[in-house]
């Protein structure tokens, strides 16, 4: 019984210790990010690496989700005699929730693993130590640029996913019951306002903060050689995905409270 209690206490202590280290790391990155010199060239490179190379995957996923949603929703609405509400239901679902969360999870898988593996390999090969010896702050050069790039890029990728989802929803709908794209967009956005559009899109900046912070933190504390790099990449994806989902739950509630329809 005492061994079980000690084990539970150890797990709880390790849990709080990990979050304490994450908070200290976040503070170090923030201090490094706001003090010159600024790494604008590296930031631009990371924006290209994270944004443009994630775009095809995000666009395809958004389009597939939009088509599936239109096909599934159509049957339900026809059953209840509300077929005319299909464009509004699909557009509202994509922009409010499906587009942001799908984008966040896809970026978790691609970017989270990439950052974790890249920084992890630099850590185990002592490249980060060499950067620090060269009087360059690794938190500024390696972590701050990647985190800021994630924050800036996620809302743009979300817009791309939303657009592709709406277009493919129209394609799926018009194959069954022909409707012009202009009419579909008019019906879909007729009851929309900025409170319905902006908060769900820009909440993905928080997703970007989570993804970048967790991946950089895991990468820069990697140990154990190549096995440790693989473990870091896996943990970066798992933890960032979990935190993105939890953050989405909280932010949906906050959006409903502060931006009522």
User: Measuring CA to CA, which residue among 28, 43, 21, 30 is closest to residue 150?
Assistant: 43
Task: Please tell me the predicted confidence (pLDDT) of residue 44.
Answer: 92
Residue 131 lies inside a defined structural domain of this protein: yes
Residue 8 lies inside a defined structural domain of this protein: no
Residue 30 lies inside a defined structural domain of this protein: no
Mean pLDDT of the chain: 87
Which pTM was predicted? 0.90
Lowest mean pLDDT among 6-15, 53-62, 243-252: 6-15
Would you place residue 184 in the very low, low, confident or very high pLDDT band (cuts 50, 70, 90)? confident
Residue 22 lies inside a defined structural domain of this protein: no
| DSSP 8-state symbol, 178 | -
Residue 29 lies inside a defined structural domain of this protein: no
Residue 70 and residue 165: Cα distance in Å, rounded?
A: 9
Residue 170 and residue 161: Cα distance in Å, rounded?
A: 14
Q: Is the pLDDT of residue 49 over 70?
A: yes
137 to 29, 38, 131, 133, 215: CA distances (angstroms)? 10, 11, 7, 9, 18
Task: Please tell me the predicted confidence (pLDDT) of residue 8.
Answer: 56
Range of the domain at 166: 38-258
Task: Please tell me the predicted confidence (pLDDT) of residue 186.
Answer: 87
Query: Which is more confidently placed, 75 or 45?
Result: 45
Task: Please tell me the predicted confidence (pLDDT) of residue 218.
Answer: 93
Residue 242 lies inside a defined structural domain of this protein: yes
Alpha-helical (H) ranges within 125-224 are 127-133, 138, 145-176, 181-189, 194-202, 204-220
Residue 91 lies inside a defined structural domain of this protein: yes
Question: Average pLDDT of 188-203?
Answer: 82
Task: Please tell me the predicted confidence (pLDDT) of residue 64.
Answer: 93
Q: Is the pLDDT of residue 15 over 60?
A: yes
User: Measuring CA to CA, which residue among 112, 69, 71, 72 is closest to residue 92?
Assistant: 69
Residue 26 lies inside a defined structural domain of this protein: no
**What HEC string does 111-127 produce?**
HHHHHHHHHHHHHHCCH
Query: Which is more confidently placed, 85 or 149?
Result: 149
The structural domain count of the chain equals 1
Q: Are 237 and 112 in contact (CB under 8 A)?
A: yes
Q: Which 3 state secondary structure label does DSSP give 228?
A: helix
14 to 9, 10, 11, 19, 20: CA distances (angstroms)? 8, 6, 5, 9, 10
């Amino acid at each position: 019984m005492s061994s079980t209690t000690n084990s539970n206490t150890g797990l709880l202590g390790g849990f709080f210790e990990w979050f304490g280290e994450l908070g200290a790391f976040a503070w170090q990155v923030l201090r490094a990010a706001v003090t010159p010199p600024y790494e604008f060239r590296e930031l631009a490179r990371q924006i290209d690496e994270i944004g443009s190379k994630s775009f095809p995957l995000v666009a395809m996923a958004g389009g597939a989700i939009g088509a599936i949603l239109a096909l599934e929703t159509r049957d339900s609405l026809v059953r209840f005699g509300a077929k005319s509400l299909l464009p509004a239901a699909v557009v509202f679902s994509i922009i409010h929730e499906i587009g942001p969360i799908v984008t966040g999870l896809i970026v978790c898988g691609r970017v989270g693993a990439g950052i974790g593996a890249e920084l992890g390999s630099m850590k185990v090969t002592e490249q980060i130590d060499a950067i620090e010896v060269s009087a360059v702050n690794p938190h500024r050069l390696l972590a701050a640029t990647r985190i800021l790039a994630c924050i800036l890029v996620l809302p743009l990728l979300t817009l791309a996913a939303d657009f592709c989802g709406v277009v493919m929803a129209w394609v799926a709908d018009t194959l069954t019951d022909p409707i012009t794209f202009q009419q579909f967009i008019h019906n879909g956005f007729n009851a929309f306002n900025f409170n319905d559009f902006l908060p769900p899109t820009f909440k993905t900046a928080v997703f970007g903060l989570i993804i970048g912070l967790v991946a950089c933190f895991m990468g820069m504390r990697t140990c154990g050689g190549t096995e440790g790099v693989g473990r870091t990449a896996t943990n970066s994806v798992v933890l960032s995905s979990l935190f993105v989902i939890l953050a989405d739950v909280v932010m949906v509630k906050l959006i409903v409270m502060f931006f009522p329809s």
